[in-house]
Chain A
């Protein structure tokens, strides 16, 4: 009888040595999901991530709204990274409707999405710190995140849910003194981010705790299909911004960070290195951006696409983020499918946690750069 129940709900123990733990959703170390962990003493013998706790049907909602009104609710899965999650949708709609974006708008979009990547990564890093019991590393990124939130507030008018990207450009132009303020904040942040190494990344306890735990080899990373920082930590140079440059990324000067270790320490270090690259991209884009010009193409009311489908993808804070839009000559899309990096990275979790100690669960789990709300959509 109990064999038919899902693993976490089984009341009968199959083995006296095995203890089943329900980590989440009401657990401080799980996020909005449940991980069913079976432990033998201190070792994890099986792990079954169970996402879906915050499923909101964003894709179905998209089928009842037209291309413009889809924007504010499609960013809800990752409100910290809202510019990046809207980016593939906006690019796809532009392909469908055949809109040519102004040059200045492309630079503004890149700046907004890089700022947003820093906002997301700092939040992720704060939670990584508190998962390892490092409360200073929780407070510092949370405080420094305000720099970018203030900048984005100046750009978009909203602190978190921006809804800034629209098909044909961005919603509004930059404020008058944005360039000076942005450069000042980025300079300050680059000094701050170097201090993170002193307190966190060079900490001997952290290194001995996370090195050689949850090692994802190069072949396993390809076989499991992980993306983003997890893939780059396993030694594979794969970044959508380099491989399939969208907007003006091919004209900007930046590098991809790759580490070969593939353990939890490398996976936690890649986003931190990426933030430094983001600062470089922002500075470069500000210098190359046309100083004046339109930032938005005027659209027809209720634009309709043809009988076609498009698939565009961008590099978000959590890896490749794709959007597949199917159009059937109507103002509403026939189908919108978001392919998110969080879900692809979660697939690696049972492989990585098997045989690890229970104490390694938070560091390995959160190093996968996983955002539960985005995976559930």
Chain B
């Protein structure tokens, strides 16, 4: 008799597995394959080596390893890959997941704890996956008097806006950016402007007191810190002479702008903390005053989506700091050059010599740029996480006076520094350096 399931019967167990298999086969044949066929009908197939890539051809090529690389390269050239995997959502989600793990472990070490420990055997590395599963499996409760369409829309719109923010960030040289907007900085400001609207909509539609107070606080905080945030970036724009983010990174080839505009960098960093609602500026979610602020009525995966959006936003702000002040992908070349003899001679594996056309997959500058960009962004994220361990929460009047009096004044000082450097002919387009 089994200990785990006292009424265990092998026949019913096998039957349940066969049952699942049956339904999987039925759904795949009746719904999955027709859906794939319909999608394939509308997709323009890439032409590789003079041959049109049909699904059947792709299947035959998958059997031949030397023919796989062109397919992968063709996929990497598509817009879908950029949006979903490398410079877009995939990289951002990976870094966001890493951020959550590092935040928990670092904060735990600071507070003489161990942090997540058991889930995933090694230092709780799968804790995030466990939390995600828990959130998915939870019931979504919506307040009876809530404005339901807007309440449902808010988390999705939040994640969507955060993902739009992520898509503006240039990660590596060679056009590795989802949306290379000519007025990139203005696009960043436009995307940031959506967050307070979504926050207030979700808080108001919940029709509850604590979310309402939290939403109003978030509105005050975001609006009053957006002004110094925008002003602090104007110095960089003046010196770089362009609003394009890729152009701003390319203008920092010899030195990052933080060397000349440290005041702007500090103001921008403090504004990041306030925009992200992180301690010491987490008033909209102040637990001991207004429960969880504007997140109070969210439950289950709706809350999970808001958290995902928050961490995507955190990555995006850290990346904007890197792009604006820390010279983006520029850095010493640390990636070794690709060995050319692999292309000319092939890889010798015992008696077999494998020649793989299509190598190298990435060029050297792109790999190096990505490594430097990720390293700098992670460093900025680390400094965003650090205040959580040492600061208490600030009060709303102190927050507003900080935003309106001190930071706006400092950002004007920053603009004057930039203007001085520009008119003295030291920096900027046609400058000395």
Q: List residues of chain A with CB under 8 Å of any chain B CB.
A: 19, 21, 27-29, 42, 129-140, 143, 199-200, 203, 205-206, 208-209, 357-362
Contact assessment for B392 and A203 in the assembled complex, using a CB-CB cutoff below 8 Å: yes
Tell me how far the C-beta of A94 lies from the nearest C-beta in chain B, rounded to whole angstroms.
42
Contacts of A29 in B (CB 8 A): 287-289, 291
12 A-B pairs with C-beta separation under 8 A: A21-B209, A29-B291, A133-B287, A134-B392, A135-B111, A140-B111, A203-B392, A208-B398, A209-B394, A209-B395, A359-B289, A359-B393
Q: How far is the CA of A138 from the CA of B107 in the complex (A)?
A: 12
Interface bits B282-305 vs A (CB < 8 Å: 1, else 0): 110011111100000000000000
Q: How far is the CA of A135 from the CA of B385 in the complex (A)?
A: 13
Contacts of B112 in A (CB 8 A): 139-140, 143
Contact assessment for B389 and A28 in the assembled complex, using a CB-CB cutoff below 8 Å: no
Contacts of B287 in A (CB 8 A): 28-29, 130, 133
Cβ of B279 within 8 Å of any chain A Cβ, yes or no, is yes
Cβ of B43 within 8 Å of any chain A Cβ, yes or no, is no
Q: How far is the CA of A134 from the CA of B389 in the complex (A)?
A: 7
Q: How far is the CA of A134 from the CA of B288 in the complex (A)?
A: 11
Tell me how far the C-beta of A77 lies from the nearest C-beta in chain B, rounded to whole angstroms.
23
Contact assessment for B209 and A19 in the assembled complex, using a CB-CB cutoff below 8 Å: yes
Name which residue of chain B comes closest to A127, CB basis: B288
Tell me how far the C-beta of A269 lies from the nearest C-beta in chain B, rounded to whole angstroms.
15
Tell me how far the C-beta of A181 lies from the nearest C-beta in chain B, rounded to whole angstroms.
21
Interface bits B385-404 vs A (CB < 8 Å: 1, else 0): 00011111111111000000
Contacts of A28 in B (CB 8 A): 287-288, 291
Q: How far is the CA of A205 from the CA of B283 in the complex (A)?
A: 14
Name which residue of chain A comes closest to B397, CB basis: A357
Contact assessment for A199 and B288 in the assembled complex, using a CB-CB cutoff below 8 Å: no
Q: Apart from A42-B396, A132-B288, what 19 extra A-B contacts exist at CB < 8 Å?
A: A29-B288, A42-B397, A130-B287, A131-B288, A133-B282, A133-B286, A133-B287, A134-B392, A135-B111, A135-B279, A139-B111, A140-B111, A200-B392, A205-B392, A209-B392, A209-B393, A359-B289, A359-B395, A362-B289
Interface size, B (range): 20 to 34
Cβ of B145 within 8 Å of any chain A Cβ, yes or no, is no
Tell me how far the C-beta of B322 lies from the nearest C-beta in chain A, rounded to whole angstroms.
27
Cβ of B15 within 8 Å of any chain A Cβ, yes or no, is no
Contacts of A206 in B (CB 8 A): 392
Tell me how far the C-beta of B56 lies from the nearest C-beta in chain A, rounded to whole angstroms.
58
Question: Taking A21-B209, A205-B394, A359-B283 as contacts, is the C-beta distance between A136 and B389 under 8 angstroms?
Answer: yes
Q: How far is the CA of A136 from the CA of B390 in the complex (A)?
A: 7
Cβ of B113 within 8 Å of any chain A Cβ, yes or no, is yes
Contact assessment for A133 and B397 in the assembled complex, using a CB-CB cutoff below 8 Å: no
Contacts of B396 in A (CB 8 A): 42, 357, 359
Tell me how far the C-beta of A199 lies from the nearest C-beta in chain B, rounded to whole angstroms.
6
Name which residue of chain B comes closest to A39, CB basis: B213
3 pairs of A and B residues whose beta carbons are closest in the complex: A133-B393, A29-B288, A139-B111
Q: How far is the CA of A138 from the CA of B112 in the complex (A)?
A: 11
Contact assessment for B398 and A209 in the assembled complex, using a CB-CB cutoff below 8 Å: yes
Which has the most chain B C-beta neighbours within 10 Å: A28, A42, A133? Answer: A133
Interface bits B103-122 vs A (CB < 8 Å: 1, else 0): 00001001111000000000
Q: How far is the CA of A211 from the CA of B83 in the complex (A)?
A: 50
